[in-house]
Amino acid sequence: MSKKISEREKNERRRGQAYVAPSSSPCSPLSSSAGSLIALRVQGRWANLPPELLVDIIQRVEARETCWPRRRDVVACASVCRSWRKITKEIVKTPEQRGILTFPISLKQPGPRDTPIECFIKREKATSTYRLYMGLTPGIFNKLLLVAKKVRRATCSDFLISLVGNDFSRSSINYIGKLRQAFTCQSSCRQRRIIHLRQVSPRKPMSMTAKISYELNVLRTRGPRRMKCSMYSIPVSAIEQGGSAPTPVAFTKGEDEDCSPLLDSERKRAFEETLKSDQNVPLVLRNKAPRWHEQLQCWCLNFKGRVTVASVKNFQMVATVEPSQNVSVPEQEKVILQFGKIGKDIFTMDYRYPLSALQAFAISLSSFDTKPVCE
């Protein structure tokens, strides 16, 4: 056994990776200190680099590798040891600041304010799977960001969202959210399909972060859809002058707790009371109304070349604000999210601040589902 460990240790040294030898008794201080000494000796040539030199190295790598797949070199720097990981996380900026997605947590952080992050979605009808990639068009070197799988139930259907394409279990660390649909009839002349976006952590009760509504369309498929999205996790102050959107820095660790109906109702009442406060007015998005083109005899929107196929699923989302709110006119007219078809089962998705990739992906997924009030 000792011979095998020594050989493995040598291999790890040659590859520049840290290897921590397991201690024989975790309760023994002697064995614990011995294990720490072995770990320090093995990764010493990496962990004991002067901080100034280490910062300079990682800054050079981060500035040089600005796109995938070469961007994985930055992730590799954070995987060397704890000191490298700490410095790398301090150097790498958020998507809002840098406009680049690096770590998985970047998918839950707001996008850049000026130029949108361009992505595309590939639909696989046979498996009811939707894959989000980062890139202008489908190609060989596109970076997979998120994967959603549609699960049909008796009364509704869910979209389970994961970091990988083969693990949608709620107890998994790869599972980060769910999009749930519900159909409600508010009156005899108005129907609405409400879809709840829920971001969760493993083994933790889910909390609603957004609601997407599709309203009645009297023209059915001959007219454009009307959709509205209430972002409960983003205050409207985020798009005001000097405002900022919530930016998580780490995934929330789940807690072992049961979700009873009583607790659900209590959380829901507390959540509604919080929304009534003036300081927590949620950001509301609506789809930009298209104009009728007399020559083409169709509804048109300017997607600036990012959408090439006409589809009822195509949309652009802009902010809806009250006159009393301090939001400039250019900010109100800015397209925060646009989604459209470019080929068979291929759709583009471009998003910017204050939405994150996860939120934009969930809103786009809602467009794939059948809408009885719209079609």
Q: State whether 41 and 184 are in the same domain.
A: no
Check residue 140 and give its pLDDT: 65
- Judge whether 112 lies within some domain: no
Q: State whether 28 and 122 are in the same domain.
A: no
Taking residues 158-172, what's their average pLDDT?
A: 90
- Judge whether 88 lies within some domain: yes
Check residue 310 and give its pLDDT: 86
Q: For the chain, give the secondary structure using H, E and C.
A: CHHHHHHHHHHHHHCCCCCCCCCCCCCCHHHHHHHHHHHHHHCHHHHCCCHHHHHHHHHHHHHHCCCCCCCHHHHHHCCCCHHHHHHHHHHCCCHHHHCCCCCHHHHHCECCCCCCEEEEEEEECCCCEEEEEECCCCCCCCEEEEEEEEEECCCCEEEEEECCCCCCCCCCCCEEEEEEEEEEEEECCEEEEEEEEEECCCCCCCEEEEEEEEECCCCHHHCCCCEEEEEEEEEHHHHCCCCCCCCCCCCCCCCCCCCCHHHHHHHHHHHHHHHCCHHHCEEEEEECCCEEECCCCEEECCCCCCCCECCCCCEEEEEECCCCCCCCHHHHHCCCEEEEEEECCEEEEEECCCCEHHHHHHHHHHCCCCCCCCC
Check residue 270 and give its pLDDT: 56
Q: State whether 184 and 311 are in the same domain.
A: yes
Check residue 223 and give its pLDDT: 61
Q: State whether 182 and 220 are in the same domain.
A: yes
The pair of structure tokens assigned to 77 is 């720097």
User: Please, what sign has the CA dihedral across residues 244, 201, 153, 167?
Assistant: positive
pLDDT grade for 184, boundaries at 50, 70 and 90:
low
For residue range 57-102, list pLDDT tens digits in order: 999 999 998 888 889 999 999 988 888 999 999 999 999 999 999 9
Q: State whether 154 and 75 are in the same domain.
A: no
Check residue 188 and give its pLDDT: 35
Whose CA is closest to 289, among 226, 216, 213, 362?
226
Note the pTM of the prediction, 2 decimals: 0.78
The answer to whether 188 touches 207, Cβ cutoff 8 Å, is no
| Residue entry with tokens 């980062």 | 134
Q: State whether 27 and 57 are in the same domain.
A: no
Check residue 362 and give its pLDDT: 93
φ/ψ of residue 57, rounded to 5:
-65, -50
- Judge whether 205 lies within some domain: yes
For residue range 7-21, list pLDDT tens digits in order: 545 444 444 433 333
The answer to whether 119 touches 357, Cβ cutoff 8 Å, is yes
Check residue 203 and give its pLDDT: 41
Range of the structural domain that residue 135 is part of: 117-244+266-366
- Judge whether 192 lies within some domain: yes
pLDDT at 187 over 50: no
Q: State whether 198 and 124 are in the same domain.
A: yes
Taking residues 240-259, what's their average pLDDT?
A: 70
Helix (H/G/I), strand (E/B), else coil: 334: coil
Rounded distance between C-alpha atoms, residue 214 and residue 196, angstroms: 12
pLDDT grade for 199, boundaries at 50, 70 and 90:
very low
First to last CA, the chain: 67
- Judge whether 315 lies within some domain: yes
Q: State whether 42 and 57 are in the same domain.
A: no
- How many folded domains does the chain comprise? 3
Q: State whether 14 and 142 are in the same domain.
A: no
Helix (H/G/I), strand (E/B), else coil: 301: coil
pLDDT at 23 over 70: no
- Judge whether 166 lies within some domain: yes
Check residue 274 and give its pLDDT: 52
- Judge whether 102 lies within some domain: no
Q: State whether 165 and 214 are in the same domain.
A: yes
